[in-house]
Amino acid sequence: MAWPHPPDFNEAIQNPRHCFADGELQQGQPAVNALGLPWPRSGNSADVYKLLCPNDQLWAIKCFTREVHGLRERYQAVSEHLQRRQMRFMVEFHYLEQGIRIHGNWYPIVKMRWVEGLQLNEFVKEYLGRPILLERLADMWVRLSQELRNADITHGDLQHGNVLLVPGSKAATLKLRLVDYDGLVVPALAQSKSGEMGHPNYQHPQRLSGGTGDGDADRFAHLVIYSAVRCLVIGGQSLWDRFDNGDNLLFREQDFREPSQSVLFRELWEGNHPLTRTLVGYLLLASRAPLHKVPLLSDLVVNGQLRFLSPGEQTRAEAMLRGDARIGKMTATMRRPRMAKPADSPSATTPMSPPTAPQATVDELIAALRDRDPRVRERAALSLAACGSEARPAIAALRDALNDSDAAVRNYAAQALFDLDPLP
């Protein structure tokens, strides 16, 4: 039996009483376009129709445009798991095996609550001028990633089209909802492949090549979306206008496949903001790590604060941007370059290891911040950024370094001050 084509579904849904077995859907009316024909939202393997039913009940009817094996078992397992967990980010749905009748044969559909809201990329575009709302969205995204992890749920296709932002009942409040559960993984499905590869502009290169299990699929996408939102808070409309293509959220598949060729990565890395540099660093490192070792977003953002890159991570990310072929063999341990002592030292010409704790005292790093060689100042500022609270005596020197003639020194000084003194 040949599977129906999209026009077959469109024709059938014009007569709900005849095409549906579900009593509520039989009484519904599909949303139509200017020509009076049902208006589907088309995806990779399904068309979704909006149906208005009695008592103002709105349903999304998902019609599969190709046969998907194991669909009933997958949706049954997902439904049972969500009923136990009661996730606030998820949407009520029902899998109907006898869903829609076409040419006398029944085909499955998914009946899901229709969510009125903006897709993720639409929301970000509309509120680029209100960074506080984007910051709130970023915080919500971290909480969502943690809740999904705690509930043993992997969505499988986190991307702009499957993330909806809904206005809350109170002013300036938001609700976030996830839709499209075809690739959802729950414990009962841990041993079965979903066949879902996800949107390429959000996925790890390893996953797109089919080389990873489904349980870790969301790690990279969580980081991509969070990074995009936070970078757009800083870069605003100009950054959006130059890198949006209507089917992404700032980043694209090619950025992850060939990071050394990415104009976006280089711009964000070389900019004057330590936060964008840090986020790009994490994306660079994650794109080359095995997917199961991509850090969880909730491990990078703790209590609303993003953990900055370590000196070793900085070095490895910079090597990736240069296209260093050795990067795949580098370990997490920093390969320490040689560095001169401060100019006022009696043995200034003698090479030494970079002053990183515990090799160097904070006083030595403060002295190095005043060295005439910008490379020495840069390494000192980077080392202080990695010292944490131990670098508190250096606050005054770091503030002075914010006016350094070298952009990298300014970046690392700002990074160190971010943790030590939030209002320098």
* Inter-residue contact 9 to 15 (CB < 8 Å): no
- Establish how many alpha carbons lie within 13 A of residue 162's alpha carbon, considering only the half-sphere containing its beta carbon: 22
Q: Cis omega (within 30 of 0) on the bond before 108?
A: no
What is the pLDDT, as a whole number, of residue 346?
A: 32
List pLDDT tens digits, range 266-318: 999 998 789 999 999 999 999 988 888 999 999 999 988 999 998 889 888 99
What is the pLDDT, as a whole number, of residue 44?
A: 77
* Among 42-46, 151-155, 254-258, the least confident range: 42-46
CA angle 192, 197, 198 (to 5 degrees): 125
* Inter-residue contact 221 to 202 (CB < 8 Å): yes
- Burial (CB < 10 A; 0-12, 13-18, 19+), residue 119, is middle
What is the pLDDT, as a whole number, of residue 388?
A: 62
What is the pLDDT, as a whole number, of residue 141?
A: 97
pLDDT band at 403 (very low <50, low <70, confident <90, very high): confident
Integer CA distances (angstroms), 251 to 53, 165, 239, 323, 409, in order: 39, 20, 11, 19, 27
Higher per-residue pLDDT: 85 or 414: 85
List pLDDT tens digits, range 373-398: 887 887 787 777 666 667 778 888 88
What domains does the chain contain, in order, with CATH numbers?
A: 6-113 (3.30.200), 118-329 (1.10.510.10), 339-420 (1.25.10.10)
List pLDDT tens digits, range 129-186: 999 999 999 999 999 999 999 999 999 999 999 999 987 666 567 899 999 998 899 9
- Give Rg (Cα) of the chain: 26
What percent of the chain lies above the pLDDT cut of 90? Answer: 55
Whether residue 211 has pLDDT greater than 60: no
Whether residue 25 has pLDDT greater than 70: yes
CA 363/CA 348 separation, integer angstroms = 16
List pLDDT tens digits, range 101-136: 999 999 999 999 999 899 999 999 999 999 999 999
* Among 24-33, 80-89, 192-201, the least confident range: 192-201
What is the pLDDT, as a whole number, of residue 386?
A: 65
What token pair was written down for 276?
């964008």
Mean pLDDT of the residues in the chain: 84
Whether residue 3 has pLDDT greater than 80: yes
What token pair was written down for 201?
């502009």
Higher per-residue pLDDT: 44 or 183: 183
What is the pLDDT, as a whole number, of residue 378?
A: 76
Amino acid at 65: T
What token pair was written down for 226?
């969070």
CA 394/CA 298 separation, integer angstroms = 29
* Inter-residue contact 386 to 312 (CB < 8 Å): no
CA 295 to chain centre: 12
DSSP per residue, 169-190? SSTT-EEEEE---TT-B-GGGT
Whether residue 82 has pLDDT greater than 50: yes
CA 391/CA 176 separation, integer angstroms = 39
* Among 17-21, 76-80, 193-197, 238-242, the least confident range: 193-197
Packed helices 374-386 and 311-322: angle between N→C axes, nearest 10 degrees? 130
* Inter-residue contact 40 to 10 (CB < 8 Å): yes
DSSP per residue, 89-133? TS--EEEEEEEEEETTEEEEEEEEE---SEEHHHHHHHTTT-HHH
pLDDT band at 212 (very low <50, low <70, confident <90, very high): low
* Inter-residue contact 143 to 124 (CB < 8 Å): no
What token pair was written down for 236?
């605003």
Average pLDDT for 321-328: 62
Amino acid at 127: Y
H-type helices in 271-310, by residue range? 274-288, 297-300
Higher per-residue pLDDT: 83 or 102: 102
- Burial (CB < 10 A; 0-12, 13-18, 19+), residue 246, is exposed
pTM of structure = 0.74
